[in-house]
Amino acid sequence: MKLYSRGKKESMPLLLYMPQKQSGFLCPPGRSEQTGKSGKKQQKPAKSNATKSSMAPRQSNKRQPLRRLRGREVPGWQDRLDEEPEYEAAPSPKPKAKAAIEPERKVEPEQKPEPKLEPKLERIAPAVPAFVHAPAAVHVPTKGPAPMPVSAPMRRNLMYVSLHDEDQILVMDGETETIIDTIPLLSGGSPKGIAINPVTNRIYALNSSKHQLLVLDGSSKEVIAVVPVSPFPSKAVVNGKTNRVYITSSLLNTVDVLDGEANDLIASIGVGNIPAGIVINEDANRIYVANGSPDHDISVIDGWTNTRLFPDIPAGREPGLPAIHDEANLIYVPNFKSNSVTVIYGATNTVIATITEHIGDKPYAAAVDSFANLVYVSNFGSDSVSVIDAASHKVIETIPVGVCPKAIAMNTSANRIYVAVSDGIDVIDGETCKVMNKIITAASPSDLALYE
């Protein structure tokens, strides 16, 4: 059988901690403060109640339709999985030609062998001693800390939501789009940034007020380690291939490096001023850190040597939470006070484009759909999400969402975009570019971490 398949500056640390209202991107001003500062009030079109009431939750058992964007059809992941390979039967072997003349064979009568007499053997049971003493146990001393227990694999299609004001982490099922579990932090920690390592089934939550990193087991949802980190940590990112966690500190202007196996800090790397957003290219083991005022640039860290690479990459004013296009090696950086998105080519660490046209007010975070080659940017000031074509670097769609959108996550398999708004999470259908569901939470989500 033959099988045929369809292959297809170093910156000085802050001596005085800046108050929240001066921290820019880290703590955006509220709507009342914006109105008081600006003389002119921007009137926004009223949203009709019919639009909100027409939102219906997605049916989980329904097959995802073809993705139609920009006049082209992109089959979903489920359609690719349903394809079966074609089999072709192997040709049957040809019979051998018989000889023209075969010599006759003489048939001799069979002779039966004479039976041989074998002596009978009797099995003798071995003698059993009266008392059998077990050997004494030998204690072998081990070097270093005891190994961590092996956790079960992390379940797919789950999203972890940190609620800073409620001191808890929510677990959302991506299939049913409902909250299935709540993880309270009994130590009174206020989780801000959150990251996951699907390889080791670990959840990392940053307690900004107590300057700690909480390590949770993904199966038991229990805190297994509390690691002190640099003051006022804001965001974290994980390299699952090296089992390293990188944490930005907005006070000391550093990035702490955590060994995920021993849960110990192994390095602290100096970066620009007030670092906040951070993203990693796991294949190249490069970490990109967004620095605030007055630097307004991107620091690059070599993950193999834990050193900062110079020069820094210029960006817009107050760069926010960046995202990376793994296949194209492009980093998209939303600039909070420039109303633009900077596009960086990771191979050369140079800026290749700056997108300003049709970008909303105060772009906050970015997420990448590498399958459809699209980039989604949440606009904090205009309550919208901009959709960017990664090929042309142009905005092709603007999606209205809830109030003050911040963190954003992309589920490529389900073609869903999750946006953290003031009262919950808006779910956007990637095919229709409309909000199709809303998940209400007790407080505004601080960060989102998704495992497809």
Domains and their CATH numbers in the chain: 150-451 (2.130.10.10)
Tokens of 128: 């059993």
Quick: pLDDT tens for 336-360.
999 999 999 999 999 999 999 999 9
Burial 368-395 (b: 16+ CB within 10 A, else e): bbebbbbbbbbbbbbbbbbbbbbeebeb
**What stretches of 144-193 show up as alpha helix (H) in DSSP?**
none
Tokens of 443: 């407080």
User: 35: helix, coil or strand?
Assistant: helix
Q: What is the mean pLDDT of the chain?
A: 78
Lowest mean pLDDT among 15-29, 52-66, 327-341, 387-401: 52-66
For 221, phi then psi, to 5°, come to 60, 30
Q: How far apart are CA 26 and CA 21, in angstroms?
A: 9
CB 253 within 8 Å of CB 13: yes
CA 187 to chain CA mean position, Å: 26
Rounded to an integer, the average pLDDT of 31-60 is 45
pTM above 0.75, yes or no: no
Q: 346 vs 142, which has greater pLDDT?
A: 346
Q: 146 vs 392, which has greater pLDDT?
A: 392
Burial 419-439 (b: 16+ CB within 10 A, else e): bbbbbbbbbbbbbebebbbbb
State residue 188's pLDDT score.
Answer: 62
State residue 30's pLDDT score.
Answer: 55
State residue 116's pLDDT score.
Answer: 52
Rounded to an integer, the average pLDDT of 32-45 is 47
DSSP letters along 366-407, please? EEEETTTTEEEEEETTTTEEEEEETTTTEEEEEEE-SSS---
**Cα-Cα-Cα-Cα dihedral sign, residues 153, 156, 162, 167:** negative
Q: How far apart are CA 416 and CA 430, in angstroms?
A: 6
Rounded to an integer, the average pLDDT of 394-402 is 97
Nearest CA among 324, 345, 343 for reference residue 335: 343
State residue 40's pLDDT score.
Answer: 45
Tokens of 297: 């640039």
Quick: pLDDT tens for 81-103.
444 444 444 455 555 544 444 44
Q: How far apart are CA 369 and CA 390, in angstroms?
A: 9
Flag whether pLDDT at 284 surpasses 90.
Answer: yes
State residue 155's pLDDT score.
Answer: 84
Length of the chain equals 452
Tokens of 281: 């290219």
CB 166 within 8 Å of CB 200: no
Nearest CA among 273, 327, 267, 324 for reference residue 298: 273
Lowest mean pLDDT among 9-13, 157-161, 367-371, 402-406: 9-13
